[in-house]
């Protein structure tokens, strides 16, 4: 019966939550955090570039006002005159120290001549060795260019800023700024700590609360499932396995409950001989104990041979076998009789009848109380065979006899014609009394 019930184990809600939802939430938050860090970094990066651009404009304004116009010289004049460049250095150094806090600043002419190098004055007046780099060329087009470079002593941001004339129509020089990214990274992380910390704590708290709810639901599901399994297993002691299986399939597979179907079955009946007199002569407790012992013996053999007990009718058992188990049905009857013969302590003898044929398998009863069983002439004939069998004897129908292998047929005697109740003509049957 175990194979018919795939839902005996409770749904592993907590395990699935940890495996799928938990992993998904962590992955989502990790991606969200990475996206947020990148977005925040880009915002600060853009702000930093905008700030440097403003500084470049201020530098141009100050140089133009204090150096170029006061001396009536141009940027091109400064590029080809050592004196003008020295004057530029003297004037620009205080501005750089007050307004810029960079690792390296260079002021370059449009032609790529170094006008100012605050880290190495020996480069001034010489061609810029990176004038063909994309960053410098981009700045000459009036656009800011920036990139992060990896050096042995850290990561640095290299920015090329175009310096425009007072009308902001032409590039007159290029300012190169080389800054350690460490300062920039500290700004990013400081901003993130303020922005991310509280939402992260709230998110973690909500996940913890959700996990507690899932864990509680998992416990309730497990308890309810175990309760239902226990109820079903107890019901199986009072209902036939075919009935419990039909109910299970109706609920889980949405089949019509107890829909009648014509099926070929092998019906097995056994009846205790002399039970009525025995029950009159003995105490009820003794009768029930002996009766249960007989039922246990027979049920064990029937189940082992692939049959299912349809019902207990007083001291009688009705069992059903599928048509491909006809041999097992007959062998079950022979084995039961042999076991009873080997146990002298048993107080009863039984008669057995087995028949094969079509039957209507379905539900009978009222709207309030129904039973799932097999009905029809095949069932009645099997009961009649059991009724006329002698104590310790098994009777099988001729139609069943002809389906058996030779070694089993040899155990049965010559067929005989029986007069069965409800039958207008003699009925062919074969009998066997195991030693």
Q: What are phi and psi of 319, to 5 degrees?
A: -130, 155
Angle at 316 between CA 312 and CA 321, to 5 degrees: 70
pLDDT of residue 1: 37
Where are the domain boundaries for CATH 3.30.70.1230 in the chain? 258-432
**Separation in Å, CA 116 to CA 74, 79, 163, 432:** 15, 10, 14, 121
Strand positions, DSSP E, 129-190 = 145-151, 154-164, 171-180
pLDDT of residue 3: 44
Percent of the chain with pLDDT over 70: 76
Give the mean model confidence (pLDDT) for residues 383-401: 93
Tokens of 195: 């922005």
pLDDT of residue 174: 86
CA 172 to chain centre: 65
Task: Give the Cα separation of 77 and 15 in Å (integer).
Answer: 77
Give the mean model confidence (pLDDT) for residues 186-198: 69
pLDDT of residue 2: 42
Identify the top-confidence range among 77-91, 97-111, 118-132. 118-132
pLDDT of residue 117: 81
Confidence of residue 61 (pLDDT cuts 50, 70, 90): confident
Task: Give the Cα separation of 236 and 215 in Å (integer).
Answer: 32
More confident residue, 418 or 1: 418
Pairing of strands 349-365, 393-397: parallel
pLDDT digits (tens, 9 = 90+) for 314-359: 889 999 999 999 999 999 999 999 999 888 777 788 999 999 999 9
pLDDT of residue 261: 77
CATH class of domain segment(s) 258-432: alpha beta
pLDDT digits (tens, 9 = 90+) for 207-265: 888 888 888 888 888 888 788 777 777 666 555 565 566 666 656 655 555 556 788 99
More confident residue, 394 or 39: 394
pLDDT digits (tens, 9 = 90+) for 396-405: 999 999 999 9
pLDDT of residue 158: 78
Helix (H, G, I), strand (E, B) or coil at 168: coil
Report whether 305 contacts 332 (CB < 8 A). yes
pLDDT of residue 407: 92
pLDDT digits (tens, 9 = 90+) for 263-285: 899 999 999 998 888 888 889 88
pLDDT digits (tens, 9 = 90+) for 167-186: 778 888 888 887 766 666 66
Task: Give the Cα separation of 75 and 114 in Å (integer).
Answer: 11
Confidence of residue 35 (pLDDT cuts 50, 70, 90): confident
The mean of the pLDDT values for the chain is 80
pLDDT at 100 over 60: no
On whether the pTM is more than 0.85, the answer is: no
Instruction: Give the dihedral sign, CA 209/211/217/222.
Output: negative
pLDDT of residue 366: 67
Task: Give the Cα separation of 107 and 119 in Å (integer).
Answer: 11
Where are the domain boundaries for CATH 3.30.450.20 in the chain? 13-187
Confidence of residue 381 (pLDDT cuts 50, 70, 90): very high
CATH class of domain segment(s) 13-187: alpha beta
Task: Give the Cα separation of 362 and 259 in Å (integer).
Answer: 6
Percent of the chain with pLDDT over 90: 22
Placement of tokens 């690792």 in the chain: 103
pLDDT digits (tens, 9 = 90+) for 105-153: 888 888 888 888 877 778 878 888 888 888 888 888 888 887 777 767 6
């Amino acid at each position: 019966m175990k194979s018919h019930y795939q839902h005996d184990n409770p749904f592993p809600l907590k395990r699935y939550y940890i495996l799928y939802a938990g992993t998904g939430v962590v992955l989502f938050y990790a991606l969200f955090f990475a996206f947020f860090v990148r977005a925040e970094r880009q915002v600060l990066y853009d702000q930093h570039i905008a700030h440097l651009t403003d500084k470049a404009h201020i530098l141009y304004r100050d140089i133009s006002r204090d150096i170029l116009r006061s001396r009536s010289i141009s940027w091109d004049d400064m590029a080809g005159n050592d004196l003008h460049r020295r004057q530029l250095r003297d004037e620009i150094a205080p501005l750089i120290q007050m307004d810029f806090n960079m690792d390296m600043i260079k002021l370059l002419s449009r032609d790529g001549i170094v006008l100012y190098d605050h880290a190495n004055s020996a480069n001034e007046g010489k061609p810029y060795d990176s004038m063909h780099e994309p960053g410098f060329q981009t700045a000459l087009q009036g656009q800011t260019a920036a990139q992060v470079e990896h050096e042995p002593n850290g990561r640095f941001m290299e920015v090329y800023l175009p310096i425009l004339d007072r009308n902001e129509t032409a590039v007159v020089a290029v300012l190169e700024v080389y800054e350690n990214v460490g300062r920039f990274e500290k700004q990013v992380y400081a901003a993130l700590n303020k922005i991310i910390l509280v939402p992260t704590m709230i998110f973690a708290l909500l996940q913890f609360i959700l996990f507690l709810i899932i864990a509680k639901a998992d416990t309730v599901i497990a308890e309810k499932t175990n309760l239902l399994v226990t109820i079903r297993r107890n019901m199986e002691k009072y209902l036939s396995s075919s009935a419990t299986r039909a109910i299970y399939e109706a609920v889980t597979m949405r089949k019509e409950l107890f829909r009648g179907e014509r099926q070929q079955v092998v019906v097995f009946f056994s009846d205790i001989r002399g039970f009525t007199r025995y029950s009159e002569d003995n105490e009820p407790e003794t009768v029930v104990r002996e009766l249960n012992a007989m039922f246990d013996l027979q049920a064990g053999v029937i189940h082992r041979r692939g049959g299912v007990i349809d019902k207990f009718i007083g001291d009688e058992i009705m069992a059903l076998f599928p048509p491909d188990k006809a041999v097992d049905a007959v062998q079950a009857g022979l084995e039961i009789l042999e076991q009873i013969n080997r146990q002298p302590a048993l107080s009863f003898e039984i008669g057995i009848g087995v028949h094969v044929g079509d039957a209507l398998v379905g539900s009978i009863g009222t709207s309030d109380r129904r039973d799932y069983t097999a009905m029809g002439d095949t069932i009645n004939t099997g009961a009649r065979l059991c009724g006329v069998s002698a104590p310790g004897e098994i009777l099988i129908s001729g139609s069943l006899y002809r389906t058996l292998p030779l070694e089993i047929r040899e155990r049965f005697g010559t067929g005989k014609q029986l007069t069965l109740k409800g039958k207008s003509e003699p009925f062919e049957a074969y009998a066997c009394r195991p030693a």
